[in-house]
Amino acid sequence: MFVWRDQDQGTVLSVAKDRVADFNSSAGSYNSAEGDSLDLSGLFADMSVTDGVSAETVINVDDSSGYTVFKIKVDGVLLGNNLEIRLTDVAKTDLMASYDASSTSEADFLQHLIDNSLLQIS
């Protein structure tokens, strides 16, 4: 389990950036059976982030760079994210086999992560 707390955030002008090099891939390739999870609950303790829909307002997930990057607006920052978590060599399709950019909403993707214990937000 990878855990972030409130003090792990940066600012909009100085975004805190973390890299997870072995998310469910300690043997060298992605394997969901390893059971890794991103625990962001400490970041949202004072917010009403409880499901994919509410998480979508503060988390954007992008994998256009070849890595999956969680861009997080801790404390609901309106101007931009203040924390980025990059999962090295992990694509959205690794996290959700049925992921399709044209038909899967961000809220549905986040809810899938929550339902499958890949993401903890509360």
Q: What is the pLDDT of residues 23-58, one digit of tens each?
A: 988 877 788 888 999 999 988 887 888 999 999 999
Alpha-carbon span 116 to 89, nearest angstrom: 20
Looking at residue 29, its pLDDT comes to 78
Q: For Cα atoms 82, 88, 90, give the angle at the middle one, nearest 5 degrees.
A: 105
3 is written with which tokens?
């855990």
pLDDT along the chain (122 residues), means of 10: 82 84 84 90 86 93 89 74 89 90 92 94 90
pTM exceeds cut of 0.75? yes
Q: What residue numbers bound the domain in which 51 lies? A: 2-27+35-120
> How many domains are contained in the chain?
1
Residues 6+ apart with CB under 8 A from 65: none
